[in-house]
Structure 1
Amino acid sequence: MSNRCATLNKLIPFSCVDGPGNRQVLFLQGCNLRCLNCHNPYTMALCDDCGDCVPTCPHGGLSLIAGKVVWDNIACQQCDTCLQTCTKNASPMTKQLSVDSMIQSLTKNVAFLNGVTISGGEATTQLPFIIDLFNEIKQSPTLSHLTCFIDSNGHLSSSGWHKVLPNTDGVMIDLKAWGNECALKLTGRDNQKVFDSINLLAQAGKLYELRLLFIPNQTDYLENIDVLAAFLRQLSSSTRIKINAFQNHGVTNEAASWPAAKQVEIESFAQLLRDRGVTNLHLPNVYL
């Protein structure tokens, strides 16, 4: 067994939207991108224990002990005042989750589960935890049938992927823009590692889903539709191409004023891809 720990933002015991089947999902704290359109900006940074949020909590759910911000999840009323106070895109409402305790949770619920998905933030910023967890799952007679998935922005090196892939069944990757200029504007980093990750995962047969977030007047998919479609066509026909519609709820910066993607825009984008031979497209079920 492993006592390796990760900084956890949230655990969802059962989810049917984070990979195939019914899955237990871990949202790890910390991200290596700074996306303007992030709906969960409080997952970007790790708390630096500055203590600014402690006196603002109206329910006494936070305290500063020995220089560390301590979160009382019993007193906490999930009012998110601390998240609104923090200027660093961090959250004090995290906890350390060990591989052993996660294995216990999965074992307790195994009869209802098809797998586990590690998300974030950015899951791969805490790669050693994922490696140890997936290894323990695959070695467990009780849990080895569960599929192990990673939800990632693709900014992991090839050496990192090679370390985790032996026990990984599938990866979901976001292609947030086509060109580097647009990627830099939206995320703060260029696209090279993302394309490297997509190609590596596709060759390894581990690319379960590639996601395109359509943001009206911001993403550059339409002006690059021919090269985008050609790139998507070379992927396995089993790889899901999921189009997500941008919504501005939860966004805290300039992107809060961007218009939400309408159903007609998403369907038009999808048709352009279909006309160019892209298959296995998945569109949103709900538009807010």
Structure 2
Amino acid sequence: MAPASVRPASVSRILAFSCVDGPGSRLVIFFQGCNMDCPGCHNPQTIGQCNQCGDCVTHCPNGALSLEHGLGQRKRRRCDRRLCQGCDLCLPHCPRSANPNAQSFEVSELVERIALHAPLLDGVTFSGGEATLQRQFLARMCQELDRDPRTAQLGRLIDSNGLLAAGHWPTLLERVDGVMLDIKALDGSIHRRLTGRSNAMVLESARLLARAGKLIELRWLVVEGVNDGDAEVEALVRLWHSLPSPPPLRLNRFRHHGVSARGRALGETGPSTMEALHHRLALAGVSLLPLVTL
């Protein structure tokens, strides 16, 4: 019996090569759409979905964007790939934090794109936005990558915010090698300030993934003066030690580069803060990845 079809995925960007989104050389797929609304997001254009409002059209200096009539009287935003220069000048003008250049892909189309680069890759990382929002597509694509002899050898990782119900993880975990999980804060009120959502499901995901042996990396975006206080650090240490076979922790420094105007209202985190926090966590017995403060 032929497998049931899945809806096409909305993809913000495909990065053909990365050495910072998992081990080795990796192709990264940034799925469009997120279930958090973090002011400090370094990919703010991946948060929302286009509603065809057309506010971006007049801000394209190359005339690549237009509004065209679709079904009935509804207009649809169109991007002419031949004219788009990838300058991103349209991105700040979307009221929904969407990417006017996001594309729709069928499973077969993405598999072919990955296969094209496969000889130079160690793996594929599914990022976003939040990749698990398109979990049915993601599960099917992993299945097809495994079946295709050109891509079967590639490792598969998910970069996730963890905001996924426990019952949805098993289907994905059958098809990927692991998950890199971002935890923004342990305190519920701080987490809501940084993401707009509760952290209960995120913490549940961390424990579930660790029990399954699929949590390969924890990530902590350090926002100085917000989530780097004593109580937060102590709670982070307790969480890490409570996990079975806890993974290495990566500290990421919050910078203003790439963030929205809301994000620039948060202060940048200084290198000295990162170094002190790294040292403190190491003394507490936490396994840490090398610190990068650039």
TM-score (norm 2): 0.92
> Does 1:60 find its partner at 2:60?
no
Contact 2:6 2:137 in 1 (8 A): no
Structure 1 residue ranges without an equivalent (≥5):
none
Alignment partner, residue 258 of structure 1: 266
**What is the CA deviation profile of residues 194-226 of structure 1, one whole-angstrom value per residue up to 9, with x for unaligned ones?**
001101100110001100111110115532333
Residue 109 to residue 78, structure 1, CA distance change in 2 (3 Å) = closer
2:102 to 83, 94, 106: 94
Q: What runs of 5+ residues in structure 2 fail to find an aligned partner?
A: 70-74
Partner secondary structure for residue 42 of structure 1: helix
* Corresponding letter in the other structure for 1:54: V
1:178 maps to which residue? 186
1:37: which partner in 2?
40
* 1:178–1:221 Cα contact (<8 Å) kept: no
Mapped contact 1:3–1:100 kept (Cα < 8 A): no
CA deviation after TM superposition for structure 1 residue 141, in Å? 2.9
The residue type paired with residue 235 of structure 1 is L
Are the structure 2 counterparts of residues 159 and 229 from structure 1 closer, same or farther at C-alpha, using a change threshold of 3 Å?
A: same
The whole-number CA distance in structure 1 between the counterparts of 2:17 and 2:100 is: 24
Work out which of the residue numbers 8, 26, 30 in structure 1 matches 2:29. Answer: 26
**Equivalent residues in 2 for 1:147-158, closer than 5 Å:** 147-158=155-166
1:247 aligns with 2:255: yes
CA RMSD of superposed structures (Å): 1.8
Moved more, 99-108 or 182-191: 99-108
The one-letter amino acid paired with 2:25 is N
Match of 2:87 in 1: 79
Query: Mapping of 1:1-288 within 5 angstroms?
Result: 4-66=7-69, 67-237=75-245, 239-279=247-287, 281-287=288-294
CA contact (8 A) 1:245 1:284 kept: no
Q: How far apart are the structure 2 equivalents of 1:35 and 1:93?
A: 21
Query: In 1, distance between residues paired with 2:39 and 2:154?
Result: 35
Whole-Å separation in 1 of the counterparts to 2:115 and 2:61:
37
Q: Partner of 2:198: helix, strand, or coil?
A: coil
Check 1:259–1:107 CA distance in 2 against 1; reply closer, same or farther (3 A cut): same
Preserved CA contact (<8 Å) 1:226 1:276 = no
Could you report, residue by residue, the CA deviation over 1:220-252 in whole angstroms, capped at 9, with x for unpaired residues? 553233332121123355612100011012222
Cα distance between partner residues in 1 of 2:261 and 2:110:
35
2:72 maps to what in 1? none
Q: Which amino acid aligns with 1:114?
A: D
Retained in 2: the 8 A contact 1:213–1:244?
yes
Equivalent position amino acid for 1:228 in 2: L
Tell me the secondary structure at the aligned position of residue 90 of structure 2: helix
Q: Is the 8 A contact 2:182 2:220 kept in 1?
A: yes
Q: How many residues align?
A: 286
Q: Distance in 2 between matches of 1:91 and 1:174?
A: 22
Query: Are residues 276 and 100 of structure 1, via their aligned partners in 2, closer, same or farther at CA, if it must alter by over 3 Å?
Result: same
